[in-house]
Amino acid sequence: MGAKNDLSYGFYIYAFPVAQLLALAHVQRYGYIVFVVATVASALPFAMASWFGIEKWALRARNLPLLQRYVSKPAASSVRADHPFT
């Protein structure tokens, strides 16, 4: 996929539910390797859809000038220097 595409978060999110569904379908009876390959092969399309359909656009949108007023900025410190419990 390259350095510009990061499927890791989508894979992290979708691999467990996909593995659970495969376990419900008793895919693990064919062996551990088959189960892992089936999980990766089944979760990868979900990870790709998540990246290309949601995450990539959300990361781009955070830099839009329209949204800059909604991006939280660090608050100024409200602790006074003369406060006895600082």
Neighbour tally for 7: CB within 10 Å? 19
> Per-residue DSSP letters for 16-75?
HHHHHHHHHTTGGGG-HHHHHHHHHHHHHHHHHHHIIIIIHHHHHHTT-GGGGGGS--PP
Report if residue 37 sits inside a domain: yes
Please write the tens of the pLDDT for every residue from 58-69: 888 777 776 566
Distances (CA, A) of 53 to 12, 39, 43, 46, 50: 16, 21, 15, 10, 5
Between 2 and 21, the more confident residue is 21
Report if residue 45 sits inside a domain: yes
Q: Which domain range does residue 12 map to?
A: 8-64
Report if residue 23 sits inside a domain: yes
Report if residue 73 sits inside a domain: no
Question: Residue 33 corresponds to which amino acid?
Answer: I
Report if residue 69 sits inside a domain: no
Tally of domains in the chain: 1
Report if residue 84 sits inside a domain: no
Confidence (pLDDT) at 81: 59
pTM metric for this prediction: 0.65
Report if residue 25 sits inside a domain: yes
Could you give the percent of the chain with pLDDT greater than 70?
Answer: 72
